[in-house]
Amino acid sequence: MADVSDRTLQVIILVSFATGFVAGWQANRVRRRFLDWRKKRLQDKLTETQKKLDLA
């Protein structure tokens, strides 16, 4: 292994952890937004279907 100081190694590990943390946080936000959108869409479809059944 090349000569890497302990301080440099600590910084690299910290940056790597922070990058992974931020990426995971953003992925969870996107997933939550998608699930909210899907829930709203399905609720709208259910409401529409119930209206059609009431009219039939």
- Per-position b or e across 10-25, b if 16+ CB within 10 A of its CB: eeeeeeeeeeeeeeee
Question: In this predicted structure, what is the pLDDT of residue 37?
Answer: 98
3-class SS string, the chain: CCCCCHHHHHHHHHHHHHHHHHHHHHHHHHHHHHHHHHHHHHHHHHHHHHHHHHHC
pLDDT digits (tens, 9 = 90+) for 1-56: 567 789 999 999 999 999 999 999 999 999 999 999 999 999 999 999 999 999 87
Round to whole Å and give the CA distance between 36 and 30.
10
pLDDT of residue 14: 97
pTM: 0.68
pLDDT at 1: 54
Q: Identify the pLDDT of residue 2.
A: 66
